[in-house]
């Protein structure tokens, strides 16, 4: 079976509604939709969107999609929340991490957790990573630190959202 290179929203979205109606799934989640695609999905779906999963981290902050999640009352699920550890090379994140006796990865997660309706999903290769990720919940970033991280946005993608095979067609 090859990669999905296109899909028909008019066919796919009602199928998601049917899955909810039939009790197969509890909620609808989408992934890698642009705001215009989210608008169409919300218009076509009978059930609310519960979550929208996209790449999101301090170097790709997805402000418009985060605002959209708040406006439409769904969760933005942030994958690649530490940008494959590229956050470790960012001076501002290193400085903030040092002041909290933390790692830049933990600061990245704490920053995401400070944002309304954002749920990061970090990768964990072993239990030590799980513990490190979990500890990010205890980091209380100041408003100034959050503003410094907010200023880092470089629109730097790990996953090419526009050119991905699922986004063609």
Distance, CA of 107 to CA of 95 (rounded, Å): 10
Give 52 or 2, the one with higher predicted confidence: 52
pLDDT value at 24 more than 80: yes
> Residue 35 has which token pair?
């705001």
Cα–Cα distance, 12 to 37 (Å, whole number): 13
If pLDDT is split at 50, 70 and 90, which confidence band does 1 have? very low
Rounded Cα distance between 54 and 78, Å, is: 5
Instruction: Say how many CA atoms lie within 13 Å of 159 toward its Cβ.
Output: 17
Mean of pLDDT over the chain: 93
Please check the confidence at residue 123 and state whether its pLDDT lies above 70: yes
Percent of the chain whose pLDDT exceeds 70: 91
What is the Cα–Cα distance from 140 to 100, expressed in whole angstroms? 9
Whole-model pTM above 0.85?
Answer: yes
Domains and CATH numbers, the chain: 9-161 (3.20.20.100)
The SS3 of residue 15 is helix
> Hunting for tokens 């991490």 — which residue is that?
97
Residues 6 or more apart whose Cβ sits within 8 Å of residue 157:
55, 60
Joined together, the tokens standing for residue 166 give 């699922």
**Tens digit of each residue's pLDDT (9 = 90 or more) over 65-112:** 999 999 999 999 999 999 999 999 999 999 999 999 999 999 999 999
């Amino acid at each position: 079976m090859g990669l999905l290179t296109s899909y028909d929203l008019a066919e796919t979205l009602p199928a998601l509604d049917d899955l909810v109606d039939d009790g197969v799934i509890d909620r609808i989640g989408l992934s890698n939709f642009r705001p215009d695609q989210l608008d169409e999905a919300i218009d076509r779906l009978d059930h609310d969107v519960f979550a929208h999963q996209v790449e999101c981290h301090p170097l790709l902050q997805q402000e418009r999609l985060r605002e959209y999640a708040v406006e439409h009352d769904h969760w933005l699920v942030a994958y690649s929340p530490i940008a494959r550890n590229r956050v470790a090379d960012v001076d501002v994140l290193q400085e903030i991490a040092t002041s909290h006796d933390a790692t830049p990865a933990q600061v990245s997660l704490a920053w995401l957790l400070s944002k309304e309706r954002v749920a990061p999903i970090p990768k964990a290769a072993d239990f030590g990573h799980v513990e490190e990720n979990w500890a990010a919940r205890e980091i209380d970033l100041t408003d100034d630190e959050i503003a410094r991280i907010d200023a880092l946005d470089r629109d730097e993608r790990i996953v090419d959202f526009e050119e991905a095979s699922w986004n063609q067609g």
